């Protein structure tokens, strides 16, 4: 089973923000993609996140849940640091490594952002575009006029028969 995770960057903050983790495709579309396309806000724990300010999106797909993938990343990172410390002649790297914060999930799986995010925030969905088209004053006038002609034709036909 594939697990999807969302990490975003916003204009208000310099560091990335882990938004959602361990989502299915339908949960991703319902909880992130639809609000993103409409530039609405989402709730992350007790914090309201305005998606209209998003500058970068990362949708990451992993084969393992978030905590397992991050634990695997921590182990790999520590092994890499230990290897560098053994090979370097007297220079030691002191670091906690990667995998300690949820935002590090971007280093764990496949970036599938292009499959889900194809436009900037607020571009709208097909339904929102259709609704905006129907609320256009020109469409309302022409459509209303045609409706009056059709209804008038039925009334005249009904009266003459």
Residue 142 confidence (pLDDT): 86
Question: Given this model, what pLDDT does residue 160 score?
Answer: 85
DSSP string, 77-92: HHHHHHHHHHHSSS--
Q: How distant, in Å, are the alpha carbons of 33, 64, 84, 103, 121 from that of 39?
A: 10, 30, 45, 22, 5
Task: State how far the Cα of 94 lies from the Cα of 81, in Å rounded to an integer.
Answer: 8
Residue 90 has what pLDDT?
A: 67
Model pTM score: 0.73
Inter-residue contact 49 to 41 (CB < 8 Å): yes
Q: What is the pLDDT of residue 134?
A: 75
What is the helix (H) or strand (E) element at residue 44, kind and residue range? strand 41-44
Map out the domains of the chain as residue ranges: 3-124, 126-161
DSSP 119: S
By residue count, the chain amounts to 161
Each residue's pLDDT expressed in tens, for the chain with a length of 161 residues: 899 999 999 988 889 999 999 999 999 999 999 999 988 999 998 989 999 999 999 999 999 999 999 999 999 888 888 787 777 766 666 777 788 899 999 999 999 999 999 888 888 777 776 777 778 888 888 888 999 999 999 999 888 87
């Amino acid at each position: 089973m594939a697990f999807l995770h969302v990490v975003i960057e916003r204009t208000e903050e310099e560091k990335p923000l882990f938004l959602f983790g361990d989502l299915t495709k339908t949960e991703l579309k319902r909880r992130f993609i639809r609000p993103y396309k409409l530039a609405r806000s989402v709730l992350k724990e007790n914090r309201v996140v305005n998606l209209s300010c998003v500058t970068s999106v990362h949708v990451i797909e992993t084969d393992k849940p978030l905590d397992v993938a991050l634990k695997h990343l921590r182990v790999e990172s520590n092994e890499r640091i230990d290897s560098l410390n053994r090979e370097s002649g007297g220079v030691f790297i002191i670091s906690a490594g990667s995998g300690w914060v949820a935002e590090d999930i971007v280093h764990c799986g496949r970036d599938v952002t292009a499959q889900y995010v194809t436009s900037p925030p607020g571009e709208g969905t097909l339904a929102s575009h259709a609704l905006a088209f129907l609320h256009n004053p020109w469409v309302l006038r022409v459509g209303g006029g045609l409706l009056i002609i059709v209804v008038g034709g039925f009334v005249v036909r009904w009266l003459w028969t």
